[in-house]
Amino acid sequence: MSTELIKRANPADDYELLQRVGSGTYGEQEILMIRECSHANIIAYHGSYLRRDRLWIVMEYCGGGSLQDIYHMTGPLSELQIAFVCRETLKGLDYLHKMGKVHRDIKGANILLTHAGDQTLEMAPEVACVERRGGYGVQCDVWAVGITAIELAECQPPSFDLHPMQVLYLMTRSSYKPPHLKEKHRWSPLFHDFVRQCLTKNPKKRPTPDKLLSVNNGSSARLIQRRVQDDDDKDSGEEEEVKDNTV
């Protein structure tokens, strides 16, 4: 074995030694970002501890599991359940975006429920970021909401059977068309239009979370507001049933 593969010299000769474990790219900055968040739909941060050279981050406990866990057990969610999930997710994203933060990892596995059925977004420190000039912005989260809506309706995200690099290649082509719900007649026109708006290819034309939540936004808002409002009008206990069905 070449001695060049494993060096026995002092690493301080080649690297700058940091005094704090976790400071830098994936540590202190990210913890500060999630510590600043305080919203019902964002998983709460309780503290961090350094013990025996390991960084422990204490977050809110969500005993209801993730939506991915749920649809693996129960099958596809109903349109009413998906509308509820999208509404709560957009509320959390609206809060983050107005603070200048991007989630970057919205998906069924990162949407968690408490035992009471309340929904929170898991925001891992190494994934959360503050929007900066250049690159992608907050609108990538809206795209992810559309993808997640399809995932919850079909128990798998679009193009799940393709290699991620192949998907990225296809998305960069001018002929690329955003994904859509496969079963056209199973879902309402409102749901189809909501997914279409979230998956608008041009991020500058993609609606923001507050726009999607606005009552003035036509079909997308009607999907979220009317579906949940109808549920409230029928029986105050039925929304609890929606939650119970997803726990």
Sorted by sequence, the CB contacts under 8 Å of residue 96 that are 6+ apart come out as: 37, 39, 42, 102, 103, 123, 138, 141
Identify the bridge partners of residue 33 per DSSP, sorted by sequence position: none
Mind listing the pLDDT tens digit for each residue in 165-201? 887 778 777 788 899 999 999 999 999 999 999 999 8
Global pTM value: 0.75
Residue 184 lies in a domain: yes
Measuring CA to CA, how many Å separate 41 from each of 114, 130, 167, 247?
11, 18, 30, 16
Supply the CATH number for residue 80's domain: 1.10.510.10
Report yes or no on 215 lying in a domain. Answer: yes
pLDDT at 63: 85
pLDDT in tens, 201-226: 888 999 999 999 986 565 556 676 65
pLDDT tens digits along 120-177: 776 544 444 555 445 567 899 999 999 999 999 999 999 877 777 887 778 777 788 8
What is the rounded distance in angstroms from the CA atom of residue 169 to the CA atom of residue 221? Answer: 32
What tens digit of pLDDT does each residue of 11-42 get? 445 434 333 434 444 566 667 778 889 999 99
Inside any domain, residue 240: yes
Q: How far is CA 80 from CA 87, 194, 232, in A?
A: 11, 13, 12
Q: What domain range includes position 188?
A: 75-103+132-245
C-alpha span between 44 and 117 (Å, rounded): 16
For residue 245, what pLDDT band results from cuts at 50, 70 and 90? very low
Domain count, the chain: 1
Please identify which of the residues 105, 118, 193, 210 carries the catalytic annotation.
105
- Does the annotation mark 105 as catalytic? yes
125 assigned to some structural domain? no
